[in-house]
Chain A
Amino acid sequence: MNPRTAAILFVVSAAVVWYGVIWLGHLAPTVLPPPHLVLALMIQEWRSLLWNTSVTLTTAVTGYFFANVMAIALAIAFLYFDALKSLATPWVVVLKNLPIVSVASLLIISFGDSPIPRILVVILICFHPLLANLIKGFEQVDSNLIARFQTLHASRFQLFRYVLWPNALPYYAAAHEIAFTSSIVAAVLAEFFFSRQGLGFMLTQAMNDYRGDRLWATNIIIAILSAAALGLSILAERLLIPWQRQETGKLAK
């Protein structure tokens, strides 16, 4: 099925199921507001929603940018300095396995009410899949290719540019699909804990005020942002690694 048709069918069927649940359960709007009330609120409060969305997006994109810079820099450093890899691995493993909720609270205590702890939460969540995939991409190089370049007396830089980096690109692109969508969730999570703005803050406010319609509106925006992040990742993958797209096309026939 055409993905566009599937997406339209999803939106329509979600609304049908939504109305169906309200009708079958005789649910009051305070328990589960119907889609038209949520939509009305979104129109009515569009300025506030847009502003808070931009705050969340800024946190997510900034954190994601730094997560990428750090992951690329560390993956390259690990490639050439084994000792650094051995030294840094325990740090990476511990940071990855710490419960992010507890780390978030520590960061908030240390950095206070500023964008820094929220950006750090995004970095912590997104950094690991990017680093792990880049390392894997560098490691999974065809040994024949390395040997071919060695017999041509290629420099380290040439080997990196022509062999290692292109080989890591599909792995890196695959990591974006997970990590970029996670950056939105991470930003909301960080705002949820401590913030006076952003979609996460809107969620806590709506919960405190028992405003189901605002809660649903915010959640819908978060879902749209995550879907858009995924769409952008797939688009970037197609642009970055066109040879893979041709391969997929060939397999699909």
Chain B
Amino acid sequence: MSTGSVPALKVSSVSKHYADNSVMEGINLTVEKGEFIALIGASGCGKTTLLRMCAGLEQPSSGSIEIFGKPPVAATSAHEIGVAFQRPALIPSRTALENVRLTLKITAAKKAMDPLTLLSHFGLAEAVDRYPHQLSGGMQQRVNIACAIVHQPALLLLDEPFGALDEITRERLVDWLADVLRESSRTTLLVTHSVEEAITLSNRVFVMSHRPGRIAAEIRVALPSVRDFEVRQSEQYLDLVRSARDALHSAITD
């Protein structure tokens, strides 16, 4: 089966329960190859759980998830998934460069990027030999994302990667990520609670309702691929932000 004919990610009727507590019900979504999808919702709506299930870290209670036609665990064993969490998952005893290299050592990826070039491209040329605690929060997150993409995964999963950063660093990193991912046209699922972040980065935005989480709305983001400051001041952009925010608000209150 060629990867071109199957969706990059297919979530079919997925529900998740913990004991009597229903986290999400009947989630359906499809992500095509090369798409950037954002999943927004209030805290506790199950969006991170959904991402963890896509990464093979948790199992759905019912329904199925397929990544290029395979179950998530098979996709992880084929090293087709890259994940970056909100809190950078870096090894404290290894430098930035060593942390990125470690991903390659474990995955033994054949089509990998050069870690040094990648970090330089991420604006971290001066910081490659620093340990994680010697890096700022924004730098740690860039190394974290470098670790997630260095082995060229077919699907990138980002769990609120800028959630713990201050507003200015966050804005800068959103621009940076948009540039990085546009160049590689990598299929990406971003989980976030920031409407602006979702509209700036993605092709489609899924809005999740509160517990049990359901897909309450889908918004198509028909904006130019380069969403610079000018685009973000445009009426079209602001309308999209407004409608996403309205959808989010009614998803929470309904």
How far is A69 from B83 in the complex, measured between Cα atoms in Å? 37
Binds A, one of B26-34, B100-108, B111-119, B236-244: B100-108
CB contacts under 8 Å to A, within B83-135, are 83, 85, 87-94, 102-103, 106-107, 131, 133-134
A154: chain B residues within 8 A (beta carbon) = 106
Contacts of A250 in B (CB 8 A): 133-134
With A153-B76, A153-B79, A162-B102 in contact, is A148–B89 under 8 Å at CB?
yes
Against B, the Cβ 8 Å flags (1 = close, 0 = not) of A46-63 are: 000000000000000000
| A147-B83 in contact given A142-B89, A152-B107, A241-B93 (Cβ < 8 Å) | yes
Given contacts A166-B92, A243-B133, contact A151 B83 (CB under 8 A): yes
A150-B76, A151-B81, A162-B91 known; A243 and B57 CB under 8 Å? no
- Nearest 4 CB-CB pairs, A to B? A148-B89, A144-B89, A166-B93, A151-B83
CB proximity of B70 to chain A, nearest CB, Å: 13
Contact of B92 among A147, A151, A243 (CB under 8 A): A243
- Is the CB of A13 closer than 8 A to any CB of chain B? no
**Most B C-beta atoms less than 10 A away, residue of A149, A151, A162:** A151
Look across to chain A and name the residue whose beta carbon is closest to the beta carbon of B84.
A148
A246 and B131 contact, CB distance less than 8 A: yes
Residue of chain B at shortest CB distance from A251: B133
The answer to whether the Cβ of A158 comes within 8 Å of any Cβ in the partner chain is: yes
Interface centre among B81, B85, B90, B94 (most CB of A within 10 A): B85
Picked from A151, A163, A241, A247, the residue with its CB within 8 Å of the CB of B91 is A163
Any A CB within 8 A of the CB of B201: no
Using known A-B contacts A162-B102, A166-B91, A169-B93, determine if residue A148 contacts B83 with beta carbons closer than 8 Å. yes
> A126 → chain B, closest Cβ, in Å?
25
With a cutoff of 8 Å between Cβ atoms, the chain B residues found around residue A167 in the complex are 92
Minimum Cβ distance to chain A for residue B113 (Å): 15
Say yes or no: A151-B106 contact (C-beta < 8 A), given A163-B91, A166-B91.
no
Interface of chain A: mostly helix, strand, loop or mixed: helix
Interface presence of B77 (CB below 8 A): yes
Bound form: Cα–Cα A250–B136 in Å: 13
Given contacts A147-B89, A163-B91, contact A152 B131 (CB under 8 A): no
Instruction: Specify which of B81, B87, B89, B93 is in contact with A243 (CB 8 Å cutoff).
Output: B93
* Complex contacts, B139 vs chain A, CB 8 Å: none
| Contact assessment for A243 and B106 in the assembled complex, using a CB-CB cutoff below 8 Å | no
Size of chain A's interface in residues, with CB distance under 8 A?
Answer: 22
**CB-CB < 8 A to A247: which residues of B?**
131, 133-134
* CA–CA, A67 and B103, complex, Å: 35
In the complex, whether A12 has a CB less than 8 A from a CB of chain B is no
For A142, the closest partner residue in chain B by CB is B89
Question: What's the nearest-Cβ distance from chain B to residue A152, in Å?
Answer: 5
Q: Tell me which residues across on chain B come within 8 A of A145, comparing CB atoms.
A: 89-91
CB neighbours (8 Å) of B133 from chain A are: 243, 246-247, 250
Complex Cα distance, B84 from A147, in Å, reads 10
Q: B residues engaging A (CB < 8 A)?
A: 52, 55-57, 76-77, 79, 81-83, 85, 87-94, 102-103, 106-107, 131, 133-134, 147, 151, 157
Residues of A141-184 at the interface with B, using a CB-CB cut-off of 8 Å, are 142, 144-145, 147-154, 158, 162-163, 166-167, 169
Asked if residues A246 and B106 are in contact (CB atoms below 8 Å), the reply is no
CB distance A151 to B134 under 8 Å? Answer: no
Which residue of B has the minimal Cβ distance to A158?
B106
Q: List 11 A-B contacts (CB under 8 A).
A: A144-B88, A147-B55, A149-B106, A150-B56, A150-B76, A151-B55, A162-B91, A166-B92, A243-B93, A243-B131, A243-B133
B76–A151 CB distance below 8 A: yes
Q: In the complex the two chains form, is A144's CB within 8 Å of B87's CB?
A: yes
Contact of A151 among B56, B90, B94 (CB under 8 A): B56
CB distance from A110 to the nearest CB of B (A): 43
CA distance A163 to B91 in the complex (A): 7
Complex: A150 Cα to B75 Cα, angstroms: 12
**A154 vs B147: C-alpha distance in the bound complex, in angstroms?**
14
Contacts of A158 in B (CB 8 A): 106
Closest A residue by C-beta to B86: A144
Residues of chain B with a CB closer than 8 A to A241's CB: 93
Complex Cα distance, B81 from A148, in Å, reads: 10
Residues of B within 8 A of A246 (CB): 131, 133-134
A198-253 interface (Cβ within 8 A of B): 241, 243, 246-247, 250
> Closest CB-CB distance, B171 to chain A, in whole Å?
24
